[in-house]
Amino acid sequence: MAEAEETGDDAPKKKSKLPLIIGLVLAIAGGGGGFYAVQSGALFGGESPDGVAAHEPADMMMDTPDVAFVPIDPVVISLGEGTAARHLRFRAQLEVMPLYKEEVAKLTPRVVDVLNSYLRALNPGDLENNSALVRLRAQMLRRIQIVTGADRVNDLLIMEFVLN
């Protein structure tokens, strides 16, 4: 009986190499597919339909629209007694389409009045918050667009915002 046990189960079974071969084939196919996707431009930009690479900085400069800038006179606002800063110095420019530059320039006294009124109505704590500039910019742009017309001013560019 001891002889039957030794001869039947002692031989180790060979494991199939089929899963290893399938994994290797899938890895090569995946790598080749990824290479093709990147080279053809399906992933990460590539070339645009006109044949120019989409990630080139020179291409980005050519697509910028023609805009004009209308400077706004600097405004100095006195702040309340409860703050360390006593004055706010504010200077900005309006981004407009060249077609509307003259019309918006004629309205700059009204724009300065609206900005002056808005900034004076703010609490000093509103100005010292880290995210204040983004919120204030959006509020001022909306008020400027009401004065000049919604399609006249594209953006408000803040050139100087100093509390001292």
Residue 67 dihedral angles phi and psi, to the nearest 5°: -130, 160
pLDDT in tens, the chain (164 residues): 555 555 555 667 778 888 889 998 999 998 888 888 888 777 766 555 555 555 555 555 556 678 999 999 999 988 776 666 678 899 999 999 999 999 999 999 999 999 999 988 887 777 777 788 899 999 999 999 999 988 899 999 999 998 88
Lookup: tokens for 156 = 């408000």
pLDDT of residue 130: 78
pLDDT of residue 73: 92
- CA dist 147 and 90 (Å) reads 19
- CA dist 33 and 31 (Å) reads 5
- CA dist 83 and 12 (Å) reads 85
115-to-7, 8, 103, 131 alpha-carbon distances in Å: 98, 96, 18, 19
pLDDT of residue 92: 96
